[in-house]
């Protein structure tokens, strides 16, 4: 069984062409355990900053993936008008 290349994975996941380069960089960053741990810590710090900014602005929502899905649904609804 052959392994997927990052390009193949991006294609199968339906990642938009303009985001493939970023996807490949993230995949590369996560290959080594040390790099994966460092990237995870960086992303958690970034997410914490976003959560704090939203809370400061008075926007309250569930944390984690559910919160992201809820915010995305709200954005979609707002765009549809």
Give the pLDDT confidence of 14-39 residue by residue, as tens digits: 999 999 999 998 888 778 888 888 88
* N residues, the chain: 81
Return mean pLDDT, the chain. 85
* 8 Å CB contact between 31 and 9: no
Predicted pLDDT at 20: 93
Query: What whole-number percentage of the chain has pLDDT above 90?
Result: 22
Position 1 pLDDT exceeds 70:
no
Annotated domain spans of the chain: 6-80
């Amino acid at each position: 069984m052959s392994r997927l290349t990052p390009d193949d994975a991006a294609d199968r996941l339906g990642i938009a062409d303009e985001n493939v380069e970023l996807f490949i960089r993230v995949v590369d960053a996560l290959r080594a355990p040390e790099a994966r741990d460092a990237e995870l810590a960086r992303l958690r710090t970034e997410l914490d900053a976003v959560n704090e900014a939203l809370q400061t602005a008075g926007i309250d929502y569930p944390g984690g993936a559910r919160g992201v899905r809820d915010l995305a649904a709200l954005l979609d609804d707002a765009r549809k008008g």
